[in-house]
Chains A and B, each alone.
Chain A
Amino acid sequence: MKNFEERLERLEELGDNIRKPELPLDDALKAFEEGIRLARSLEKDLEKVESRIEVLMNGPEVKADTPPELDLFNGGD
């Protein structure tokens, strides 16, 4: 799976494509379906990040020997 930004870019691109008058309706519908799938996955990611923040903010004290949380920032899933 591509990272958040790449998928977001694709979503924007799909929106632009659908607007092209020469794109047949069938293709536009296909693009829309892809876009909706992307939007769902992006929404899920955002929720995940939000709840992660909540957990980190309200969670128990981080122990000194706990390695720092980094995977939030490295784009992968």
Chain B
Amino acid sequence: MDQDKKLSVSELTGMIRQCLENSFGPVVVEGELSNYRPSSTGHLYFTLKDSGAVISAVMFKNRLRYLGFEPKDGMLLRVRGSISVYAQRGSYQIICEEMEEAGTGDILAILEKRKRALAAEGLFDEGRKKPIPRFPETVAVISSPTGAAVRDILNILARRAGSIRVIILPAPVQGTEAAPIIARRIEQANQWKLGDVLIVGRGGGSLEDLLPFSEEAVVRAIAGSAIPVVSAVGHEIDWALSDFAADLRAPTPSAAAELVSSSRTEVLEKLRRSAKNLKETMEGRLERARLLIKPFSTEDLEYRFRAMLQPRLLRFDDAKEALLSALSDKIGDMRRRAERALINLEAANPQAIMERGYSVVVREKTGAVLRDARETGPGDRLIIRPLRGIITATTEAVEIPAANTTEG
């Protein structure tokens, strides 16, 4: 044995995985379902077999919503998926993305053939596709008037773009008579210019239910429509040939309604946002302005003004007070001076002296007041005036005290 080529189990399995997973890509397998076991975790485990082989398969929970039927052991299934290697168990299996009953295969084959033929005519060419008007005023809907599709479309348009007019052109959406009527409605819509955009579609259903929308008459009517057509058939994973002919394929009728109103909604939203912005900006400006003038409220201004006035008032009061007191002080001073002068004057008043018992002595001859004994002599007549009355007297003798003259 060649030692150099020795591999570990993991290495070998890794190589097998690389080989298997990279060389297959997506595969479509048909086989009989057996050993079907949904796990508690929500994934589906099963095997597919035919007379000569068996292969494990799994469909993960996230793909289940696209499963349009309840799988049962013994069913003939067609699955699309990819091969993966599970190294820990040394097994390989197919991871299923889609799964359908194989009986539908015939229909699909017919549709595939028809699709190719119509495509060859150029009915599905990108170049043919017309732009969907951004702001349709009227939307014409060709669908069952009682179906969920019409109800969804009306709801969404009412909510998102209440001003859009909706015209319903009723048509059956399944059965053999459906296709010619749908085609006729598309032509009528064009003939009478019933809308700016057409929505042609229906809600979900089985592959057979959706067949009218794959009929040649419908496909040709859509391709020939002068009015842009939005095709809206079934759910996300459903399709019809009308999807290829339409100017725009919507995954669901609801999505179609959203698509035809999207521009309008965006613009309205933009306008609303702008208006809101404008309002908020303006309110912000006002708020700031309010804050700025807050210090200038009337109360505040009055307070400040009074604060300015107050010192002047005080100063004025003081000045006035000072003036009054200055003059009254002045007058008081003058009055006191005058009073002092009066007291002096009164002190000099002879009457006051005489009241104390003094008399004035006058020489009768001259009327002169005697201040000195020497001014008279013996025999000289005197008039003595006490406070009241007059005394006439004669000098008898004169005495002069020695060295005690008042002569200056």
What is the interface of chain A, defined by CB distance below 8 A to chain B? 4-5, 8, 11-12, 14-19, 21, 23, 25, 28-29, 32, 35-36, 39, 42-43, 46, 49, 53, 56-57
Give the most central of B312, B325, B326: most A CB within 10 Å: B326
Q: How many residues on chain B are close to A (CB under 8 Å)?
A: 22
A15/B298 in contact, CB under 8 A? no
User: A8 touches which one: B298, B309, B312, B329 (CB < 8 A)?
Assistant: B312
Interface segment, one of B179-187, B313-321, B358-366: B313-321
List 21 A–B pairs whose Cβ atoms lie within 8 Å, in order of A's numbering.
Answer: A4-B312, A8-B312, A11-B316, A14-B323, A18-B323, A18-B326, A18-B330, A19-B326, A23-B330, A25-B330, A25-B334, A28-B330, A29-B327, A32-B326, A35-B320, A35-B323, A42-B316, A43-B316, A46-B313, A49-B309, A57-B298
CB distance from B328 to the nearest CB of A (A): 10
Interface residues in B300-357 (C-beta closer than 8 Å to A):
302, 305-306, 309, 312-313, 315-316, 318-320, 322-323, 325-327, 329-331, 333-334
Q: Who on chain B is nearest to A43 by CB? A: B316
When chains A and B are docked, how far (Å) is the Cα of A18 from the Cα of B322? 9
Q: Who on chain B is nearest to A25 by CB? A: B334
Q: Who on chain B is nearest to A59 by CB? A: B298
CB distance from B299 to the nearest CB of A (A): 8
Residues of A within 8 A of B312 (CB): 4-5, 8, 46
CB distance from A54 to the nearest CB of B (A): 9
User: B302 touches which one: A19, A42, A53 (CB < 8 A)?
Assistant: A53
Q: Who on chain A is nearest to B299 by CB? A: A57
When chains A and B are docked, how far (Å) is the Cα of A16 from the Cα of B321? 11
Residues of A within 8 A of B305 (CB): 53
CB distance from A44 to the nearest CB of B (A): 11
CB distance from A41 to the nearest CB of B (A): 11
When chains A and B are docked, how far (Å) is the Cα of A19 from the Cα of B326? 5
CB distance from B88 to the nearest CB of A (A): 84
B330/A11 in contact, CB under 8 A? no
A12/B322 in contact, CB under 8 A? yes
CB distance from B381 to the nearest CB of A (A): 52
User: A11 touches which one: B302, B309, B319, B334 (CB < 8 A)?
Assistant: B319
When chains A and B are docked, how far (Å) is the Cα of A46 from the Cα of B319? 14
A36/B323 in contact, CB under 8 A? yes
User: A57 touches which one: B302, B319, B325 (CB < 8 A)?
Assistant: B302
